[in-house]
Homo-oligomer: A and B are copies of this chain.
Amino acid sequence: MLIRLAYDIQFDLPCEVAMVTLLNVHPSRAKDLLEPDEVHTEPELKVSSYIDSFGNRCARFVAPAGRLKLRSTTLIRDSGEPDPVNLSARECAVGDLPNEILSYLLNSRYCEVDRFSNIAFELFGWTKPGWERVKAICDWVHSKVTFNYGQARPTKTALDVFTERVGVCRDFQHLAITFCRALNIPARYATGYLGDFGVPVNGAMDFSAWFEVYLEDRWWTFDARHNFPRIGRVLMATGRDASDVALTTSFGRADLCHFFVVTEEETKAPESRTAAEADSSIPA
């Protein structure tokens, strides 16, 4: 299966501003890319790329005052398989976790693990450790929290989600991540493209958030928002929570004025595409 990825994000900048973006496909998926994956800026800027401490590919640049357009399109090969499920995956005792996994048990900006230790134990302490416990957490969050774009806000933490019971996809994952960590299960936030493959489309596309849980000896994909195995996730970045993997971070004012993302199956063979066609998938 071939998936066409593209975005067109535009800002009005009152002043020159330094920005960092996490808009590239994750290095773990680089082998699947069939076209280059670069941020194109308009005006054309000197963009430098680097890998952050979480292993994500970042781009940074300094943009002048005025309209800034960030655009890209690329093509990626995907297995077309849904998220793997392994009902028998066991929790790893904390003492046996690899060193680099330990920090995914701690507090982070949006995940107040320390405030949830009793709550998490009361809600999920009775469940069978491992995959089943994580699934119970996802089921709980999925059934208790209502999706509502209008109720998003940048300061909403897991505790806010727990009391307000409404939010956007990142809020679902923050609450689930916090429950996991409070139960000594390493969990991290993930962001990327998620097409509507095999599900009814509802409205404009957006990037999506999900989360990953460390069971047995690897990370597994979970998604408390959708709560069933999806096809065609394309990972962009992972971190402790949304604070680590903001798609764009502006060190100064930047007013978002246009936002377009698309993820769809490409039915033509990639060889036959021309640059012109590729461009045409980005709206003016």
Contact = CB atoms under 8 A, between A and B. Distances in A.
Interface of A: 18, 20, 50, 52-53, 58, 60-62, 93-95, 99-100, 102-103, 105-109, 112, 114-116, 118-119, 144, 150-151, 153-155, 159, 162-165, 184, 243-244, 249, 251-252
Contacts of A52: 99, 102-103
A113 to B, nearest CB: 9
Contact of A118 (B118, B144, B151, B243): B144
Contacts of A114: 154-155
Contacts of A62: 93-95
Contacts of A112: 109, 155, 163
B155 A58 contact: no
Contacts of A94: 18, 62, 251-252
B107 A243 contact: yes
B99 A60 contact: yes
Contacts of A102: 20, 52, 60
Copy tally for this chain in the complex stands at 4
B153 A103 contact: no
Contact of A164 (B105, B106, B115): B115
Nearest 3 CB-CB pairings of A with B: A18-B94, A62-B95, A115-B163
A94 B103 CA distance: 27
5 contacts: A52-B99, A53-B103, A94-B251, A155-B163, A159-B159
B150 A159 contact: no
Query: Which one of A58, A107, A144 has the highest number of Cβ atoms from chain B below 10 Å of its Cβ?
Result: A107
Nearest to A110: B107
A21 B165 CA distance: 26
